[in-house]
Amino acid sequence: MFAYLAKRVIQAIAVMFVISLIAFAIQGNLGDRLRELVGQSVSEEVRQQLRDELGLNDSFVTQYLRFAGNALQGDLGTSYFFKEPALDVILKKLPATLELVFGATLIIIGFSVPLGVYTAIKPDSIISRIIMGLSIIGISIPVFLTAILMIFVFSVEYGWFPSYGRGDTVQVWGYWQTNFATADGWMHIILPSFALASIMLPLFVRLIRAEMMEVLQSEYVKYAKAKGINPWRIYFVHALKNTLLPVITVGGVQIGTMVAYTILTETVFQWPGMGFMFLEAVNRVDTPLIVAYLIVVGFIFVVTNTIVDLIYGLVNPTVNIARMGA
Amino acid sequence: MSLLSVRDLTVKFAMRDQTVTALNGISFDLAKGERLGIVGESGAGKSITGFSLMNLLSRPGYIDSGQIEFEGEDVVKMSDKRLRNLRGNRMAMIFQDPMVTLNPVLTIGQQMVETLLAHRKLSREEARQIAIVKLREVYIPSPEERLEQYPHELSGGMRQRIIIAIALLLDPQLIIADEPTTALDVTIQADIMELMLELCQSNQVGLILITHDLGVVSQMTERTLVMYAGRIIEAGRTREIINDPQHPYTQGLINALPQQTVPGQRLKQIPGNMPGLASIPQGCAFNPRCKYATDLCRSRVPDIVQYGEVAVACHEVQRLHSDEDLKEIRA
Amino acid sequence: MSTEMLSPKSDPSRWAKAWNSNMGYSFRRNPVAVVSMIIFLLIAGAAFLAPVIAPYDPYDPAQMDIMNSEYPPAWVSGSLPEFVLGTDDQGRDLWSTILYGTRLSLLIGICAVALQAFLGISIGLLAGYVGGRLDSLLMRLADIQLSFSTLMVAIIFLAVTQAMFGSDTFNRYAVVFLIAVIGVAEWPQYARTVRATVLAEKKKEYVDSARVLGFGPMRIMVRHILPNSLSPIFVISTVQVANAIISEASLSFLGLGMPPSQPSLGSLISSGFDYIFSGSWWITAIPGVVLVVLVLVINLLGDWMRDVLNPKLYKG
């Protein structure tokens, strides 16, 4: 167990190292720190002196180590635009994004499992055919288009839901403001959550269906039938657990895609999360914020993927965690 | 009264473009506690027969016609609920490959207890105790520990013993074993067969043993059916069939046994292959491979008729008996 | 038959024959596949012939008149007869712009997938054939690459590139950047599948006999192993083209792809989005419908192909 954990953590650290190198390279080459600090009306002499003071003339390695050291202490630079520590800016935006991802994840899990299982058990029923037909349309509509369509139908035409922003939020703890405490907050988060879930949900329905159908053909399911086990127990105990193992792996990979989709969803709904913030930072060439976003998002990827791997190892008895570490 | 009585069982497979007949008018009986072997090459319909007896065919296969009377009740006409009560309880099945039969994500204990709970009103602890007793019966060391283990932690032989224990859990009247040892190491095969024989005899359980191994059949069973391309072509007491086969196909099978061959000589194989279900030749399905085939064999399917001690489906069986060639082969 | 048996290439050619007949047969019997194929060919044909069909050249500023902006399509009141699908916010004929935009979307999608396939197949063949440490290293890289979504990598790469080079330079080379980033990010899909086939085929006798006959590894891989990976490669490619078109549209929608002066479907939708509240729905809706229909028919064809070829795809 320990060896497996250690191996996963080492891989995670290696990936973070590469990300930090990329981030460092971007920081060094994108924008001009001096100009942001003192403007253009400074003599070349003063410039050089400032460069020395800031350590910009140090060797690459020294500069990188300083960058990494600061990053480890939570110092990712100061945003040019907000004039605040970049990490603080991101952490303020993080809860909005996480709540959106949370809402979408609930929708995906809540719908994909029953729909996937149903279409696998009754592949020829009319309802299954309709679900499968809708799912292929679903994966063919880009997230941003679904978001636009939802705004057009539910906000512009019918006016049932608000079209932008988070609405009333309630302070929970630290930077965390939640949407889930007020009716207005709920109204605001429903459309973006569904939009964010819109392409992943049909993907998971199709995946669960395909895996489940394969499992239902397996010898151990036939054997369970031969033992006279109740069909519901066969579907939900014998088959579903084996179905979900590969689904967990794919789910881990999809977390990355989900973060990317938050950028699209937040842009359409002007959701004040870190995806929306990132695009603004890009337009303003706010280098520290871009770099900080890269590191935070990379960190989220690495942590979630490691957790998903660990969960997979714990759920799947045939993965011998002790042996995999060797 | 017989335990099991199969009459004119016909099984078909609905493929995309055509429907093929996998079993064609199979009839046989099994007395209580009797052990019956079903032999034939792969594709002859042995396993399909086994699955049909439990009405467990999955799409695209289905029972087209016929009756399977088990303890006086027709399995073909049973409701789903009755079928569930039958399966694993009154009639149990042992599958071919123990490596893929047990569910990989459930412990041995879960898979044994659920079987008991599906058929009896027991507490979990009572079910666990029965499982431990049955594991002891199949000579599994420290059964309490095994219950907590997952299938992948056990060897193939161990898993097949557990599957036998599961088959015996509810004291069934009949066990259907579909090639129970082909997936195992040769060294373990004999142990497993011996164990099955011992348990069937001591518990008075009927056994239908599906295999391609005539040697195993001769050790394990009292009666034998020989199948070819979805039909029974010879049936009778195992001893008679092994010692005095009537159908040219059965003769060929026995002649092909290594024991029948002088060391250094080539094994006497039957020329050709069994036809696929979609391309069964007209007349007797064996005729293209049979050196006695006549025009009658190529045009009409022979009925199965009693001939001496056994029942045999061959037009030429009488001629065969007086034939010089045959005596030579049997010598 | 006999000549075929004798010819050394009998294996792939017989395979191709069986493939053709099987594919053809199931295609004719599947109305969804037929309709999808017809629609795809119509869209692709119209896009390819855009310079011939389109009544206006959307890239020519001389043919644009800002006074003509936001005219609705012909069936809505207030339209102009010369603009069948209306005009966009810059006064361009929407029909012409969509034709050119679809051409760009398809071009980027197909080129990106060709790049993915080239990289992935090469790496997959190499990893599978050489094996050992190189194999495990490449596959670990593939795992890591996959865990970062393409879209995320593309967004960051394009955002940084745009900020670094400035909009003008970026816009000029946007097509190249898009193809490169979508093409590079998705190689693991192909690499894993091809590697799995190589591992399966490597064990087979004909590979040994080819080696004994003195054929070099390149020749064995390209002539003997690759044909056996074709059906999964086909299935993956179809789905990947659909995904690449969606990715391109998403990037352009975010302003990280094709510029409004040279719009793909995604950038058209994006420019129309600002006008959706003022009632000019068609600038977003019509290219949106074209995009969805295009991706949908490709996905339907991919589904059908997967059912027919039923290849062993790498999962997870």
Using DSSP's 3-state secondary structure scheme, residue C2 falls into helix
Three-state secondary structure readout of A123-169:
CCCHHHHHHHHHHHHHCCCCHHHHHHHHHHHHHHHCCCCCCCCCCCC
Q: What is the pLDDT of residue A325?
A: 36
pLDDT at C13: 56
Cα of C292 to nearest chain A Cα, Å: 5
d(CA C228, CA C226): 5
Angle C158-C162-C165 (CA atoms, 0-180°, nearest 5)?
130
Query: Does the distance separating the beta carbons of B103 and A229 come in below 8 Å?
Result: no
B299-308, C89-98, C179-188, C270-279 — most confident range: C179-188
Provide the pLDDT for residue B207.
93
Which pLDDT value is given to residue A112? 93
Helices and strands per DSSP (H, E), number in chain A: 15, 2
Residue A295 predicted with pLDDT over 50: yes
User: Going by DSSP bridges, is the β-strand pair B223-228/B35-39 parallel, antiparallel, or unpaired?
Assistant: parallel
Residues of A in contact with B84 (CB under 8 A): 228-230
Nearest chain C CA: its distance from A228 CA (Å): 32
Does ipTM top 0.95? no
- The stretch B238-263 carries a mean pLDDT of 82
Bond from prior residue into B60 cis (ω within 30 degrees of 0): yes
| B19: pLDDT strictly greater than 90 | no
Question: Quick one: pLDDT at residue C46?
Answer: 87
**What is chain C's mean pLDDT, rounded?**
79
User: Residue C294's pLDDT is what?
Assistant: 93
Is any Cβ of chain A less than 8 angstroms from the Cβ of B105? yes
Instruction: Write out pLDDT tens, residues A28-40.
Output: 777 666 666 666 6
CA dist C264 and C109 (Å) reads 11
Share of chain A above pLDDT 90, in %: 22
Rg of chain C over Cα atoms, rounded to whole angstroms, equals: 23
Alpha-carbon distance A206 to B314, whole Å?
53
Q: Which of C140, C164, C284 lies nearest to residue A29, judging by beta carbons? A: C164
Instruction: Calculate mean pLDDT across residues C16-29.
Output: 66
* pLDDT exceeds cutoff 50 at B260: yes
Say yes or no to pLDDT of C10 above 60.
Answer: no
Q: What is the mean pLDDT of chain B?
A: 86
> What pLDDT shows up at residue C316?
35
The residue among B59, B108, B114 with the most chain A CBs within 10 A of its CB, best to mutate, is: B114
| Interacting residues of B29 by C-beta distance below 8 A, sequence separation 6+ | B2, B4, B5, B6
Residue with structure tokens 């045999």?
A: B312
Judged by average pLDDT, the poorest of A40-49, A294-303, C167-176 is: A40-49
CB contact under 8 A, C315 and A26: no
Alpha-carbon distance B243 to nearest alpha carbon in chain A (angstroms): 35
Mutate to test the interface with A, among B97, B105, B113 (most CBs of A within 10 A): B105
Helix (H, G, I), strand (E, B) or coil at B222: coil
- Closest Cα in chain C to A303: C147
Whether residue A222 and residue B58 make contact (CB cut-off 8 A), yes or no, is yes
Mean pLDDT value across residues A143-169: 83
Averaged pLDDT, A46-59 = 73
The rounded distance, in Å, linking the Cα atoms of C252 and C250 is: 5
Of C147, C163, C291, the CB nearest to A301: C147
Q: How confident is the model at residue A319 (pLDDT cuts 50, 70, 90)?
A: low
- DSSP-derived secondary structure letter, C261: T
Cβ atoms within 10 A of the Cβ of A322, count? Answer: 10
Does residue C89 register a pLDDT over 90?
A: no
> What is the token pair recorded at A192?
């973006």
Query: DSSP assignment of A250-271, as one string?
Result: HHHHHHHHHHHHHHHHHHHHT-
A&B contacts, CB < 8 Å: 76
For B113-160, what is each residue's pLDDT tens digit? 999 999 999 999 999 999 999 999 888 899 999 999 999 899 888 999
Q: Does the pLDDT of residue C23 top 90, yes or no?
A: no
Q: Which of C238, C250, C264 is best to mutate for the A interface (most A CBs within 10 A)?
A: C250
Strand (E) or helix (H) holding B93: strand B91-94
Cβ neighbours of A285 in C, within 8 Å: 163
Cβ distance of A263 and C163 shorter than 8 Å: no
Comparison of pLDDT for A201 and A172, the residue scoring more: A201
Mean pLDDT computed over every residue of chain A:
84
A-chain residues near C278 (CB < 8 A): none
Find which of B93-97, C212-216, C259-263 is predicted with most confidence, using mean pLDDT: B93-97
Report chain A residues touching chain B, CB-CB < 8 A. 217-220, 222-230, 233, 237-238, 241-242, 245, 315-318
Residues of chain B with pLDDT > 90, as a percent, come to 33
Q: Which residues of B touch A220 (CB under 8 A)?
A: 100-104
Alpha-carbon distance of C244 to C182, in angstroms, equals 7
Phi, psi of B310 (to 5 degrees): -120, 165
Query: From the candidates A213, A223, A312, A318, which should be mutated to test the interface with B, based on the most B CB atoms within 10 A?
Result: A223
